[in-house]
Amino acid sequence: MGNWKRLANEVLAGKELSNEEAMKILTTPDEDLLELLNGAYIIRHHYFGNKIKLNKIINTKSGLCSENCGYCSQSSISTAPIEKYRMLDKSSILEGAKQAYEMKVGTYCIVASGRGPSNKEIDSVVEAVQEIKDRYPLTVCACLGLLKPEQATRLKEAGVDRYNHNLNTSEQHHEAITTSHTYQDRVNTVNIAKDAGISPCSGVIIGMKETKQDVIDMAYSLKALDADSIPVNFLNAIDGTPLQGTNELNPRYCLKVLALMRFINPSKEIRISGGREINLRSLQPLGLYPANSIFIGDYLTTEGQENSADYQMIIDLGFEIDFQSEAIKIGK
């Protein structure tokens, strides 16, 4: 049994986990899980108290993607029956921002499928973001694929606060998931966003037949990238994708992964993202002891939990929504 409280305090004092310590987190016996979560919570509470950041996605372009990512229903090799459409107009993006603000969401995520944005698509996002910033006190995140430096500069000038481009998996496992772009392509896009002065958001998808060492490597890679926000997705294997039928996860292991991310990236926003409802299931509330952020509403091509259930979860935990840089209590 690990002394997770002691290790948490060592992390707060500046210690970096060894690979052996990281592996002990992922292999913690289930009977010791609450002690592990307590250690992760000590770190989380030090940096974020009991505040929860809310994030909301708008899928501004669906399907029509040339890439062959094995997890994705929008990829060129997917036969999943999803809705496909070109870039939404500005009014639709603005309406999504209005909804996000009314839902006490702090970060509004403008997401588009595809290898990378065309200049015309950048024009659309720039125009929408400028109006969003005039109307609402939202953090705006863009997720548009592989990015060029001049495109990143335009997004920054328009007011984009954050750019998301996930590593998704480890460098060693990358080619088992996609071959239409490289792992380094993904790293380069995160660095291009950083160089433009945009806050980097980069995360992972857990449950794609990777090893525990792959998961540890992902956590260390995100630390090396200095990603400010780390979305942790748990695979929702969609029929019609190469990973259909994959079901490797259980709620307890998912919690250990979240704890690992907190121990290795102590001061960063750890966000429970896609697949939390079907993988964490009844243990979702425990995920907010290591993590301090969630997506609410629907994801790209899959449905999320009812908003009311997420708000109730936060109320029941005694936590607060971190909205407009101030914690707003949503219940008693």
pLDDT of residue 115: 83
What distance in Å separates the CA atoms of residue 260 and residue 25, rounded to the nearest whole number? Answer: 6
- Among 256, 234, 262, residue whose Cα is nearest residue 247: 234
pLDDT digits (tens, 9 = 90+) for 45-81: 999 999 999 999 898 877 567 677 767 776 656 666 6
pLDDT at residue 216 in the model: 98
Question: Does pTM top 0.85 for this prediction?
Answer: yes
And the tokens for 308?
Answer: 């009311």
Report CA 239 to chain centroid distance, whole Å: 22
pLDDT tens digits, 176-233: 988 888 999 999 999 999 999 999 999 999 999 999 999 999 999 999 999 999 999 9
- Domains of the chain from N-terminus onward: 18-168+175-322 (3.20.20.70)
The yes-or-no verdict on residue 326 having pLDDT over 60 is no
Inter-residue contact 271 to 55 (CB < 8 Å): yes
Distance CA 288, CA 102 (A): 23
pLDDT score, position 324: 59
CA distance 191 to 200: 8
Q: For residues 95-107, give the mean pLDDT.
A: 91
Provide the token pair at 175.
């080619």
Burial of 207-226, coded b for 16+ CB within 10 Å and e otherwise, reads bbebebebbbbbbbbbbebe
Q: Is 26 helix (H, G, I), strand (E, B) or coil?
A: helix
Q: Which amino acid is at 255?
A: L
**At a CB cut-off of 8 Å and minimum separation 6, what does 10 contact?**
none
Which tens digits make up the pLDDT trace of 288-324? 999 999 988 754 544 556 778 899 999 999 999 997 5
Q: Which residues contact 243 (CB under 8 A, 6 or more apart)?
A: 70, 71, 208, 209, 235, 237
- Asked if residue 156 has pLDDT above 80, the reply is yes
Structural tokens at position 77: 């090799």
How does 88-106 read in b/e, with b if 16+ C-beta sit within 10 Å? bebeebbebbeebbebbbb
